[in-house]
A and B are shown apart, each in its own frame.
Chain A
Amino acid sequence: MRISAFFRLLSLNIRRNARNLLLSSTGIVIGIASFVFFVALGYGVRQIVSHDLLGALPVNQIAITPKSYAAGMFRFESLLSRGITEDTLARFRALPGVKRVYGKMNLKAPARAVVPIPAFLQQQGMASAFYTELVAQGIEPEAIDKKDLGGLDFIFHPPPKAPTSQPTTRSPKPPIDRDVVQCGRFRFSKKPVPVLISRRLLDLYNSTLAGTRGFPKLNDQFVRAVSFDMYVGSSAFQRDRHPAGVCRMKCRVVGVSNRAILLGISLPLGYIQRLNLIYNDATSAPTYQSVILEAHQASEIPQLLATLDKMGFTLESGQIFARKVGEMVFLFALVLTLISVIIMVIAAISIGHTFFMFVYERRYQIGLMRAIGATKSLIRRLILMEAAVVGIVSGALGLGVAWTATHGLRWALERSQRLPFEAAKLFSFPSWLPWAALGFSVLFCLIGAFFPARRAAALDPARVLTEG
């Protein structure tokens, strides 16, 4: 049969039964809409929980800390644990399956910051500056995703080499180097210290503080322009300055990252290592609070965790929680998705009934077509193709309903400003979802039309044409 003739017949049949087809495909539309809605919700919530709320890592990475034990109100590290030192990192690097190791080190010194607020924000009611106690953490620059930096550098700027002072009779004092900041026995480059802030922190500001106080919402681009002064060795909570003095450093935010510490700032590890040497006992070995281990493959993680357990290390508590929450959300989304699949199964039965009715109504047409040259397989293909078209249209309608519902809900939640995260992230549409929705829709319509198509093909033309 000519393709054009086949589609002509197809379009005639669909147009003839358009209303009934539309009615019977309502179930598929609802099923697809709920499927897309729940999958997008599941993905969105999972992403929010694991990446934004808990800062989960890619599947081939884990964050580990020394094991600790709860006793009453307190937690204690294992007696065997001596913290994470450079030696520990070297042992981790030597473990089979480990690709890279990134240490995280906290600043063990009081610090505070003074953040000047731009004029346009002051016009909207903000103060001229923002004073805050500061928690800082050092992280290896390689651990940061370049996408979080917007083209800026997150590196330790080494200080220029110290000039060799040659005392002369004219100038007994050494020359003043304007390119360096001298802190204790260390020199730092005068270039601003690159700083990262947590994406979660930015989301919290945008979703709560900005809305309730009437401040503008901030994006990555704006945050990357923020500069401030950090005073290490000084604290609003301490009356006296640190004996090592106060070191004032110019900082600039260069990115927003899930890897950054939640309440505080993250700096390239080199700065923290030097500052800790200034403000702590320089003879004791520097220790890391946690380590990110990157495996060659995600499948190697369970074995790695078992080895680390024997070594006295465990997943960071947040990560354990993230994994559990991730699993719960996945299960929840799975149940809802199953419900939508059940809706589609019921809809397929309804489609089946409708097509049985069509076959009955069109039995003379089918009989005639068989009498004048249509094969059984052509009749079957014609009915199944009608079902496929109904599936495509229902799938597209279902996608449209889901899109409208998700965007409507986002809009309503954004207006309510009650979420501790951006409402836009509540639904996440993986690229395969529309195709899967259309595929499911077509599949269930084909399943529904399978038996009617068989019946149509098996119709006895002699009988139907004689009875007509």
Chain B
Amino acid sequence: MIRLEHVSRVFQDGTKRLEILNELDWSLETGQSIAVMGRSGSGKSTLLNILGGLDREYEGKVFFDGQELKQLNDRQIAQLRNQKIGYIFQSFHLLDQLTCEENVMLPSWFAEMSHDAALQRAKDLLTRVGLAHKIGTRPQRLSGGEKQRVAIARALMMKPALLLCDEPTGNLDEATGEEILQLFLRLQKEEHLTLILVTHEIRTAEIADQVFVLQQGKLVQGKLEDGHAVAHS
């Protein structure tokens, strides 16, 4: 599904050159769930942004279902993000002026999806994430866990093939985080999703089929040991 060939990403901090990703070669098959771990600043979010087509200033090649992302124009990449990729952020990024239902429907506004079909899908998703009773509520009146549920429903709105989650439980307490992770597992199975979780939390990484560790610009297979993620030697 996803293939990275010699992907490097460099940031310039004044005169300082920061090489975040270094000649990365990596691939991911459909239906897998993986957790990407690493220290702060190791490039986890950068990798996620590159995989999601949000960051296109990398060197090398990124293929999504055989399509090279750099070859796509703005309209095509926007369509890819809309149709095939779902995002979940640590900060939820819900629009306060919209209701929960409208927040979930938001991706459908950028697609040729009828209002009725979008409404039906949004209601169904909100029911599945346990927020059927909050349909007309605005995000300001929701708890952190509820906000993340709405964000998950929004990410699934267009039935994406790939779900990218950037610290999905980072802003939640332990119990709520656990509920959200169980929700991820259930929805991944129901929707046949490929799941990439970027996290520094062991409990979040535990739900993934595989764990990768990002260190020194390289993505290496890892394992969870004594509350830490360690790279296979």
- A residues within 8 Å of B by Cβ? 1-2, 4-6, 8-9, 12, 15-16, 364-365, 367-378, 460-462, 465-466, 468
Contact = CB atoms under 8 A, between A and B. Distances in A.
10 contacts: A2-B109, A9-B109, A367-B93, A368-B93, A370-B78, A372-B82, A377-B74, A461-B54, A462-B45, A465-B89
B106 interface: yes
A365 B95 contact: yes
Contacts of A15: 97
A160 B114 CA distance: 84
Chain A binding surface, main DSSP class? helix
B68 interface: no
- Among all A-B residue pairs, the 7 with the closest Cβ atoms: A373-B82, A373-B110, A5-B109, A462-B49, A462-B54, A462-B55, A375-B78
Contacts of A376: 74
A313 B156 CA distance: 88
Contacts of B75: 375, 377
B98 A378 contact: no
B89 A373 contact: no
Interface string B74-114: 11001101110001010101010110001000111111100
Contacts of B55: 460, 462
B49 A373 contact: no
A468 B81 contact: no
The interface size bin for chain B is 20 to 34
B115 interface: yes
Contact of B93 (A1, A377, A465): A465
Contact of A4 (B49, B102, B115): B115
Given A372-B81, A373-B81, A462-B49, A364 B54 contact: no
A2 B112 contact: yes
Contact of B52 (A9, A368, A371): A371
B170 to A, nearest CB: 12
Contacts of B109: 1-2, 5-6, 8-9
Contacts of A460: 54-55
B154 interface: yes
Interface in B28-52: 45-46, 49, 52
B65 to A, nearest CB: 17
B110 A374 contact: yes
A317 B180 CA distance: 92
B74 A373 contact: no
Contacts of A4: 115
A8 B106 CA distance: 11
A371 B97 contact: no
B54 A371 contact: yes
B74 A375 contact: yes
Contact of B107 (A372, A375, A461, A468): A372
A298 B217 CA distance: 79
Contacts of B49: 462, 466
Contacts of B46: 462
Contacts of B110: 1, 5, 369, 372-374, 378
B151 to A, nearest CB: 10
A367 B154 CA distance: 15
Nearest to B86: A372
Contacts of B81: 370-373
